A and B are shown apart, each in its own frame.
Chain A
């Protein structure tokens, strides 16, 4: 059964854009315009994730989220908002949202975050070893090796690699990395991420036949055996 996503969004153009993307990816998407309808839909049926616009008619997005959380509905929620400043983001997350995406955004950014949220859902399983092809990291000894060779990583490189490993085969965007690896929520410095990635790439890919760390044009990166 395909995964079900609820979209609460009153702007028709944005909604079409998101729905088209979701359906292309094989999700079953349900769309409501009104916050109150969104609340009823979310509390009634089992959705895998909710995309919630911050400002919708009927009942405002944050109130819907607070009401859902109060009713012990823990479906992952990603908030969409034209309110970009830092305080709004903090408010959104405090209200019970799991992620906050500022409009305008690219669909790939939304998709990557959605994947990330839905994957996070089963709960943090205790892993001590992560692997991608012949690259593996030991989370306890903090040892990284590829094809039997030990790689010498700086702590910050290890942190980045660990995040990429946990999101193996998935797209992670620059802003996701900034936010989730470094807790840094600003666009002006996204090129900083490229610097980190190119250094990491040098250590894990250079001298090996098959590259694992791929750059996705205009979107971000993916750690995967697949090209």
Chain B
């Protein structure tokens, strides 16, 4: 088998998702940065323009010299705030304000971004130049170095965070991938063992487990059922061969006897009648198997209809009462009661109850008490056939419900060995169970039927 890892790579999915998420994050970050920069830049520009307009108005009102003195004063008292102001004459000589130098010429008018030197150190500045009508020009300097540094730091730290996230997600994806493969490989190994013929293979599960444990449990449940069916099928074919061979062999012997030329007519008829009975026995074994198979497969469910369980049980009891009495047993019929209407498969129910009574008559022994009753419990109806015979040892109780199982290994008593299997299949068809309990002494066979949600009249 090819290792699953070569075909299944859940990790690949993670890488794609990761790439998409990271790109989205990066784009988002750039957008935030861009928008932030745009908003801040606009505000700063407005401040710069307002200051320029104020100083231009000042120059017009008070003259150039007072403005130069005012700017000098401002430079001395408050150089902070990021804005600096300077006034130049027409030749470009500083009249007052900030003492800043640029290696490139300032524009004659308007804004520009330049490298400006102060005390020999250069940094990026934005300049706004306004020529004055009386000659010279006013320049507003805005120090944008800090802003740029801040943005760089922001982008850098975001980048580091992103890289760390990428690493963590990669590791998680690899770990998850290997975990996933390990869990799937376990399930696949179990399936492989089943495929190789080991029907008892089961996958390991933990009771409080995750989705894989639930999958494993479902798989184990399915395997249990398959194994049960396979074993059942094997038992059926083996037992069918045995149980059909016996009547057929006897039938053949009867017919051979009937063919003897010198046989008396009476004896011949006897032999033929016996052969006839054997044929019936083989046929009924076959029909019973069909009924069990259909009931077990749930195929008979569409034949269900409302029926009166009380009347049904009483009638079957009436049918079998003489058989039980002839076996030297005492039959206790169910107490008369009002109808118990439930949804069910009438024919199979009758047969199931009949089989339980038939078993009691044949196995409980002389002098036993055979009691047939319906017990009501919340949401359930229980058909009980209890006898005071030898009962069934607890270790055999599970087995007798299977097809063809008879506890007397020599199969001395007649009977298809299908009686309890039919009763069990009947119970299952109705969503119930067949319970075999100890009656202290004797056997208590219970067909436990759920009637939840059904109207009981």
Contact = CB atoms under 8 A, between A and B. Distances in A.
Given A84-B290, A195-B322, A218-B276, A189 B303 contact: no
B391 interface: no
Contact of B416 (A106, A185, A188, A217): A188
Interface string B258-289: 00000000000100110010011001101110
Contacts of A121: none
Interface in A69-123: 84-87, 89-90, 102, 104, 106
A151 B331 CA distance: 23
Most buried by A among B279, B284, B322, B348: B322
Interface residues of A, number: 27
Contact of B315 (A182, A186, A217): A182
User: Chain A at the B interface: mostly helix, strand, loop or mixed?
Assistant: helix
Interface in B430-457: none
Given A90-B303, A184-B354, A196 B287 contact: no
B287 A85 contact: yes
A170 B200 CA distance: 59
Contacts of A187: 280, 283-284, 287
B290 A85 contact: yes
A85 B346 CA distance: 13
A182 B319 contact: yes
B299 interface: yes
Contacts, number: 84
The bracket for how many chain B residues form the interface is 35 or more
Contacts of B276: 106, 218
B322 A186 contact: no
A199 B322 contact: yes
A224 interface: no
Contacts of A102: 287
B269 A217 contact: yes
A167 B386 CA distance: 37
Contacts of A43: none
B288 A104 contact: no
Nearest to B300: A87
B330 to A, nearest CB: 15
Please provide the 6 A-B residue pairs with the shortest distance between their CB atoms, ordered closest to farther: A187-B284, A86-B347, A85-B290, A195-B322, A84-B287, A156-B318
18 contacts: A84-B286, A86-B347, A87-B299, A104-B279, A182-B316, A182-B319, A186-B354, A187-B284, A188-B288, A188-B419, A190-B280, A191-B323, A195-B323, A196-B319, A196-B322, A217-B269, A217-B273, A218-B276
Interface of A: 84-87, 89-90, 102, 104, 106, 155-156, 182-192, 195-196, 199, 217-218
